[in-house]
Amino acid sequence: MKYQLKSGLSIFLVTVIFEDTVHVNCGQGFTDTVHRYAIADSKSVAEKLATEHFERQGLAVRISDGFESTRTTVNSLIRKDVLGFDAGVTESA
């Protein structure tokens, strides 16, 4: 199945720095920094999506900083790992 971004949206890579060190799944160990893709209409909205995502998990976010990804396509991403995927993407024929 192929997807395309809805009009006016972009893919952002957001760096999130936590107040404390956390354990990251998949054998990555302990860190205070993670990166997450987000689909949004602006950098500030992407950062807010990432901050809220981690705060809902009980993690205190110190900094979130995103930038628009120019080399990533929606079809190269893993759906479950992208914040805002369902709201920001449509299926293409």
Q: Is 40 exposed, middle or buried (0-12, 13-18, 19+ CB in 10 A)?
A: buried
pTM greater than 0.85 (yes/no): yes
The pLDDT, as a whole number, for residue 29 is 82
Q: How many domains does the chain have?
A: 1
Mind listing the pLDDT tens digit of every residue in the chain (93 residues)? Answer: 899 999 999 999 999 999 998 887 766 688 899 999 999 999 999 999 999 999 999 999 999 999 999 888 999 999 999 999 999 999 986
Instruction: Count the Cβ atoms, other than its own, within 10 Å of residue 61.
Output: 16
Return the ∠ at Cα 29 (arms to 23 and 33), rounded to 5°.
Answer: 65
Domain of 58, in residue numbers:
2-92
CATH code: domain of residue 72:
3.10.20
CA–CA gap between residue 77 and residue 72 (Å, rounded): 8
